[in-house]
Structures are given as structure tokens and as C-alpha cells.
Structure 1
């Protein structure tokens, strides 16, 4: 038996059958088993399993004392600080639904998600990456500090976590919430949570440009995390380093939840810096790192990488975008990792659904996004986490095996739907199958090849970007007549955003101005990397005048290559 198979056998021995669990109950069980083992590691602080569970219990008691009831929605606007973990489990223990939010949101983006999610309480950093979240709330909902706002009538409480040296007087802090919980010890103890109930509403981008809140159950994230550990053959106590945010399935499930399957730990960083990854591996003896190809390249290109002791590193999960064979070879040769995998998934499915295997060739890892994760007792009858097939993207009719079409999936971790968007739910979830909007094929060996996107969304640096949002911002400017945002294939970014702009008559707006405008109003990952100016006559259109974006992409690729 190979070492990888021996690890998988040990893991299946720990889970002879699958017992659905609520998230808070899961943490309590892990704390009973792993007690003083570290669960959360940062340069400044380490939390054991027991400390995390106890902290989460106090915070849950505080939430209940503030009036949070089962089913209430609680927003979390927090980077990868150690507090995120007990906060996340505390919300679950109170029977509430967590709404982890992208902390790069600008004011209007945050306003939309707070309103659409119907959050009753928000736990937020005071600031991060130059953003002032309390200032945003002042703009969005004047009077929020008093619990009465016209724009967000359901939001009755905001809890602040000072992260930038600023504290708003009169507003409860996370420490205050813990103190309140201590004074109301046991307030959440009698709350029973169904594992099949919604534990998270995770916002993703929609085909129309409006973010959609994906309803994911407690049981779903645990099944997905277990499947990750099994497929990647986690050893006991694995330490996973990442800066990928926990508002996203990547950090949340592939990192935090998966680590708990083997009594492991997460080494969380609040921002990505290549040197911090290298230093973190050395200092905390990380066995595994999570990244997207752009991050992987940045680590490999760091001039001091050979100065660090990376001998503990054995595994890398680099997903969200395709990468060439040479990248995997450099990861092996220069970082020393030998268990290198990539994968594919989407929030609507419950996270990453496919992975290549650590024993796969680099050619297979570069050409495909893997096959369905092995889930054993947590999966379908055949032990796979999910089943994929293709349908005609226009009619939805099933296609023959191996045919290219829209990828659809079915499995026990699929979303229950989109929050308060029944029409979007009907389009995206049909007869238990999640329609991805991605084009691809399922090979005879079960591995998936992604060939394109039937939707216009694109991924840059692993983050999904909505073209319509950029286009609406630009066309609202009097200097711009038309604007189209597309993703251009890029070896570093996966896809690089490109804004195609038609100037208004008499306008001399330049690329720097367009970029600056986007930086002022959009999250950083949405800002286009390129700006190209065209005349209206140069736009490729249908006979009815609709711009054909696939032709526009080809045109822009050629133009950029000639620069």
C-alpha cells in the first residue's frame, strides 16, 4: 500500500459511517478529541481546539443575549484574523445563519449585500486594507449606531472588532460581546440545530450582475471538507497555510473545515504577500498551502525564496484557474512539494467538487481540473462527492457521454437555492441538478475539462468578476459612450480584465482615468488590467447590433499581443 493510500485508509477508519452534524456540534466534538492541539495559528496568537470551542460558546451566549434567534441572519465582515473562527462557529451555535462578506466591497456593494441578505446583526472590522467599514455604514445607513436606520431596517446591532486602531465610541466591541456572553452563561445551550438547515449564505456573482446569496447547509460544508481530506490524503495533524479569505469556500472549506477532519491546524494570513507565505511555512512548519496560480507564481518569483526552510512543505492546492506544466514542475523543484493538485467547483455546488489526485501526472493536472472528489461514506452510492454530466446550453437537453456542453452537477452538498431569488433558483437548480454556466466535457476517465463559459463572467486571480458591474460604472460617465468588460486569457492571472471603451464625441478620456475610476468604486480584483479604446464601428456585432463578446475577446487579444 502506498503512503497516500495508507493515509486515506486511516481517515476512512476514523469515519466508518457518516453522521450529519451541525457546525457548532462538530467543533465541540473536535475539541473533545483534540483538546490542546492548535486549531488556529497566526504570528501573534495560537488557539487550541478547546480554546476555540469555549470562545465560540461565550460569543454564542452573547448573541442570544442580544436577541439573536435561530434562523436570524448575522453578517461577518472580517479578514483572516483568528477571531473569525470562533465568531463563525458562535453564529452556528446560536442557531443563526452566517453571512460572510467580501471585505473588499466598496460602499454600494456592501449596502446591497446587507440589505438583500436581511442581516439583523453585523460583526465587522473597523478597517482593513485602507477601507473604513464604519465610515461606509455612516454613508449607507445614518443612525446605524443607534440601531435605527431607514435603508437597513432589520439591522439592529453592529459589533466592531478594532483592526486599524480606531474604535467608535458607544458601539459594542467583540470583547463586549464576549463579556455579555459570560454574564449570560449557557444562553445558547438549549438551541438545537438541524444539520440539514442553512448554516451559511455565501454571496457569489450572478449572470445579471446582481450578487446572489447561496444557501449552504451545515452538513454540506462538512461533507465537502471531509472529501477534500480524503482525496488529498491528509495525514494526522496537517497544517494548512493560506491567505485566501474565509468568506470564500476556498479558505473556509478547503482550509478550515478540511483541517478539522484530521485534528489539523490552519495558519491564516490576512493579506497575501509572497514573503509572508515563505516565512509562515518556515515559522509554523506548514505542510500544505492553498493558493491560486497568480499567488504560486509570486512565491516562486520571490528573490529570497531559497533563504527559507521549506522542508515541512509537502502539499499544494493551487486552484481557481488553469496552470501550465512548467508551473507544477517549479513548485516541485523549488518549493519541494510533491503532492500538487488543482480543482474546480463553485459555491452553488458546495465548494470545490473535483480535484486532481496527488499521484497524478503534471500533464493531467495541467490539462484537466480533476475528477469528482472521493467522499466515501459522505458521498453518493459510488463514493464520489458529486456526479457531473453535460447538457445543451441552449435547450438543457442531456448530451452523450464525453460531449462538450454545459456542465451540471448533482450531489449531497448542492445548494438549497438562492436567498430570496426564486427565479434565479429556478434557473440555477433544476430537478436537483446545479447548472454551472461553464462549458466543458467529462472524459472517459471521469476527469473534467473546462473549455469556456457560457456566461460572461470571468475569473481574474481566482476571483469571479461581473462585467455588467464594470460596464454600468463606466457608461455612467459622460465621457464614455459604450463600455464592455471581458476576460482575456493571461498566464499570470488566469484571465485579465480588459475594459473596451468607446469615447463619447469630443471626449479625450484616457486609460489612467478609466483605471482610477474603477479603483475608486470597485473592489480591487474587479479593476481591469487593460483598457482598450475602440470606435463604435470597430465593435463586432450581430445583425441586430448586439456586441458579440467572444469576437471582441479575440479582437482584443490580437491587439494586446501587438503592443
Structure 2
């Protein structure tokens, strides 16, 4: 009889070998060798081209001493070399450490130190970043430049020098790291979430199952975000099916170009964030190009405000797919597929939900002590399943804080209804306490966006001598509209409880956004301080 405490049902634990993720390129090159795998500007590469280039670059790095387990920091805007570098690292069994190219040299130097990188691939446009990394991390002994530069050998020169050399795929087990996915650092310095070969194999399968069912080599995907983070995961999924990936020609987001590419390449799917999707649907170039090929417009990274969602559905049709997930869970918590999106606010519409649990994942809404609360009650959103990362690299304190009884604690607040649909209240870090009452900005922002003159809004809690904290609403007006602070406060005051009404409203031409196009409250607060809005704060009469 097998004892209940026996590991794996009586089978001794073993290291489970899994497919090296770089094998997806090998498969695509074998099955679809002459099909276009990547498009960037006027240039195209077939899957065979990409496989050969990845082999050559892997051989070049191996000759320089890069081997399994080494961390390779990559500082680059979107380009074919950045796309390839992921699979170069995977093929060697090394760890891909991509950075947001908009970060400063000092910030990139920190990532080098935090990751323990020993090699760096740096775009030629960022020489100061390479200098900063070398100064901060003497262990970075291998440096490669994308494009000609004075600080390192050129990537493409190395590819030519090692052309024809085959790099064997490193043998990997389930828990071997393949990617250090740095968090955005909204509550402190960025942390390296460790993604593994086995975990990511599940993530890829899950994305194909829940987000883009029916995806084949006949599809085409447009990239409108940096490949260093969520868009990189999305493109890894495309590679698994031999899907053509199309990059914008430049490093700036050109909306007219994006719609032109959708028409030219018959784009069937794209991954974006709500703020960029809003820009896409509101731009006049949308009407100038055929976008009927679109089947899945996937948005994540932040909740989409209802008014924006309705407009997108009206203009694009039932192609929206929402998912909720963090980098630590590689986007795999919930999904709201096209058929559950509704442009009408009828009685049966599930307004405000981010969907149901992803296949193979489980959600638990927990109180501060880790007890699961009943349906309809707010608590912290916790999750378990194969998509959860291995933990933060070299950060036991963060790991202890983020895991409880096997559940990953997202730090997001919300509730589920009786049918299991999840509704996000907000980030626990976004909540502020005013006069003893918990205030969740998300609810108030949704109400404000229903005003026809308000295009964007972010509400943050700031210190106040009387109430502890009060809210400031930062608004961007719709083009051609005018609105005053008193008018907006009077309007919103009739729609929410008085204690939830922000104490101030300021109007800006635009809201500051992160390098991934998301509105983050940390950046908004920093900008408020920079503009001298925070000190001193005018206190209004107490709300009843």
C-alpha cells in the first residue's frame, strides 16, 4: 500500500526533462521552412532564415563562454535581433534577461547586478547603458552590439562569422530557468521573476487554448509593444504555431502605420494594453484600412474602462479578448473571450468582469489571514497552477511575502460572483484610506469616464492632515470639450457616495504612462509632485 505521504504517489522525485523552448523554431523551420516568420519594415525572414541565424549567434556566444544557466541581459528596442535573442539564449540553456529599452543606464545597470548577468546584448543606440553595466557588473565579460558601435562586436558580423555552425539545444528540465521577467517595480525596485522551460510550455499551450483557439501558420500577428515583456510571451506563442510576426518599422508607436500593416499583412491577432487599444480605435486611420482579418485583439496589463470597451466593440466587432494576469503568472489567471464581450449594458451583460479562471488555473479570494471569502465578498486575488512562476531570483523576502500556503498572492483586490467570474476592485497599493473608509479608485474612475468630456482619468490618494488621505483626480479632456473642476465634482457627486468624491481635480494634456503604455499610479504621483500639485493640498469640507 502506498503511504499518503509518499512523494508523487510513491514514485521518488526525479528531474523531468522537458522540451527546450528553442525547439519551436526548429519545428517551424522544418514544417514551414519557406514561410515568412518575421517582418520588420521592408525586411522579411523565413523560418529557415531565423533558425540559421539563431544557430549562428548561439555558436558565437558559446565560443565566448556563454553556457547553460548564464544570464544574458538584452537592452534593445524591437528588431529582428531582439526577437532572435530569446531563442539564442534558450538554445544554449542560458537565461534571457530582456530590459525595457526606455530605462536609464543606471536602471539597466541595476538589472545586470540583480540578475547576475555575465553577458549583454546591447543595441548600438545605447552606448551609455553598456558603459554603466560594465562599471556596475565586472562579471559581464561578453558584450555584443546590435549594429556597428565602438563598445562591442556587431551582432550581425558574429552571425556571418559563425554561419553554417549548428548549436545543439541544451538539455533542460522542467524547473530550469529560461527567462528573468522583471516586474515593473511600481512598489520598489524591479524584481526578477524566474520563468522556466516547463512552466512556459504550459503557458504557451494555455494561450493557444484560451486566448487564440484555432491559430495556425496561416495567421499573422502584429507587435505594438516591446518584446521584452508581455508582447514577447505573445510572440513565443506565435512561434509555436509558425505564425508570422510583424514588427512596426520604428521604435515609436505609429497608429496609421499599425492599421496599414493590419491591412497589408492580413493581421489576425495582436496583443496590446487598454491605453494603446483606445488610441487605435479612436484614430481616424482605422477607417482608412481594412481590418476585417482581425480575429483576436487581446488586451491585458490593466482593466479596460467600460466606455472604452464599448467603443472598441462597436468599431471592431466581437474580436476583443481580455485576460488578467501578472508577469509572475505570465498572464494566466483569467480570460474573457470574444463571445462574452458585450457592447450593450443589458441585464445579462457581465459588466466589469475580467473573465473566468484560465484552463488549469485556480483562483481563491482570501482575507488578510488567508481564509477564502464567500462569493461576492472582496479580498486579495490569489492563484495557483502550472503558470505560476518559480519565485523571485535571489529574493527570499519577496518570495515569503508573495506565497502563502502554496497560493501566489497577486496584490490585486476583487471578488468572484456565484458563477466564478472575477471582478477586480483595484490594486491593494492603489487603495487609500480617507477618514477611516477604504477608497478604491477604480470604481470612481469608471464613473468619471462616463462623462462625455473626460477621455482619461487616474485617481490617487495623497496625504492629508485632516483625513489621513484624500483623492486627487487627474483628467484628460476629450478633444474639443471643456470642463471645470467644480463642474466635474458636482457631476460625480450625484453618482457616488460623498466620501468617495475626490477632493481635487486637475486637468492635464496627457497622462504619463510606463514604457509598456500603462497608466501607473506611481508615475502619476511622481508627476503631481514634479508639477507642485501635492504640497500643499487644499482641503475641502468633510464629506458626510
Instruction: Provide closer, same or farther for how the CA distance between residues 273 and 499 of structure 1 changes in structure 2, counting only shifts above 3 A.
Output: farther
**Structure 2 CA distance for aligned equivalents of residues 332 and 452 of structure 1:** 24
Checking the alignment, whether the CA contact within 8 Å between 2:255 and 2:285 is kept in structure 1 is no
Counterpart position of 1:422: 396
1:100-139 paired onto structure 2 within 5 Å: 100-127=98-125, 133-138=126-131
Checking the alignment, whether the CA contact within 8 Å between 1:207 and 1:455 is kept in structure 2 is no
Give a deviation string over 1:463-514, Cα, whole Å, max 9, x none: xxxxxxxxxxxxxxxxxxxxxxx99947589763869699xxxxxxxx9xxx
Moved more, 310-319 or 114-123: 310-319
Q: TM-score, normalised by structure 1?
A: 0.72
Stretches of structure 1 that go unaligned for 5 or more consecutive residues are: 1-17, 128-132, 374-383, 459-485, 503-510, 541-553, 556-563
Counterpart position of 1:377: none
Instruction: Provide closer, same or farther for how the CA distance between residues 62 and 41 of structure 1 changes in structure 2, counting only shifts above 3 A.
Output: same
Counterpart position of 1:548: none
Counterpart position of 1:158: 143
**Structure 2 CA distance for aligned equivalents of residues 365 and 309 of structure 1:** 30
**Structure 1 CA distance for aligned equivalents of residues 90 and 32 of structure 2:** 20
Checking the alignment, whether the CA contact within 8 Å between 1:120 and 1:155 is kept in structure 2 is yes
Q: Give the CA deviation at 1:56.
A: 1.0
Counterpart position of 1:323: 304
Instruction: Provide closer, same or farther for how the CA distance between residues 339 and 523 of structure 1 changes in structure 2, counting only shifts above 3 A.
Output: closer
Checking the alignment, whether the CA contact within 8 Å between 2:97 and 2:180 is kept in structure 1 is yes
Moved more, 358-367 or 62-71: 358-367
Instruction: Provide closer, same or farther for how the CA distance between residues 316 and 210 of structure 1 changes in structure 2, counting only shifts above 3 A.
Output: same
Stretches of structure 2 that go unaligned for 5 or more consecutive residues are: 1-15, 433-440, 465-473, 475-507
How many corresponding residue pairs? Answer: 451
Instruction: Provide closer, same or farther for how the CA distance between residues 457 and 428 of structure 1 changes in structure 2, counting only shifts above 3 A.
Output: farther
**Structure 1 CA distance for aligned equivalents of residues 376 and 277 of structure 2:** 31
Match of 2:423 among 438, 444, 449: 449
**Structure 2 CA distance for aligned equivalents of residues 173 and 499 of structure 1:** 48
Aligned-pair RMSD on alpha carbons? 3.4
1:39-78 paired onto structure 2 within 5 Å: 39-78=37-76
Q: Give the CA deviation at 1:20.
A: 4.3
Q: Give the CA deviation at 1:247.
A: 1.1
Counterpart position of 1:3: none
Q: Give the CA deviation at 1:314.
A: 2.8
Match of 2:324 among 332, 341, 344: 344
* Structure 2 residue matching 1:369: 3-state secondary structure: strand
Q: Give the CA deviation at 1:399.
A: 2.4
Q: Give the CA deviation at 1:227.
A: 1.5
Match of 2:202 among 194, 219, 223: 223
* Structure 2 residue matching 1:351: 3-state secondary structure: coil
Counterpart position of 2:214: 234
Q: Indicate yes or no: 2:266 matched with 1:273.
A: no
* Structure 2 residue matching 1:342: 3-state secondary structure: strand
* Structure 2 residue matching 1:23: 3-state secondary structure: coil
Q: Indicate yes or no: 2:159 matched with 1:178.
A: yes
**Structure 2 CA distance for aligned equivalents of residues 126 and 457 of structure 1:** 42
Match of 1:313 among 254, 269, 294: 294
* Structure 2 residue matching 1:83: 3-state secondary structure: helix
* Structure 1 residue matching 2:195: 3-state secondary structure: strand
Moved more, 419-428 or 306-315: 306-315
**Structure 1 CA distance for aligned equivalents of residues 65 and 419 of structure 2:** 53
Q: Indicate yes or no: 2:495 matched with 1:533.
A: no
Q: Indicate yes or no: 2:364 matched with 1:389.
A: yes
Q: Give the CA deviation at 1:539.
A: 7.8
Q: Indicate yes or no: 2:175 matched with 1:196.
A: yes
**Structure 2 CA distance for aligned equivalents of residues 493 and 63 of structure 1:** 48
Counterpart position of 1:412: 386
Give a deviation string over 1:502-561, Cα, whole Å, max 9, x none: 9xxxxxxxx9xxx9xx99x99997753654635568689xxxxxxxxxxxxx99xxxxxx
Checking the alignment, whether the CA contact within 8 Å between 1:77 and 1:124 is kept in structure 2 is yes
Q: Give the CA deviation at 1:46.
A: 1.8
Match of 1:299 among 256, 276, 280: 280
Counterpart position of 1:256: 235
**Structure 2 CA distance for aligned equivalents of residues 431 and 494 of structure 1:** 39
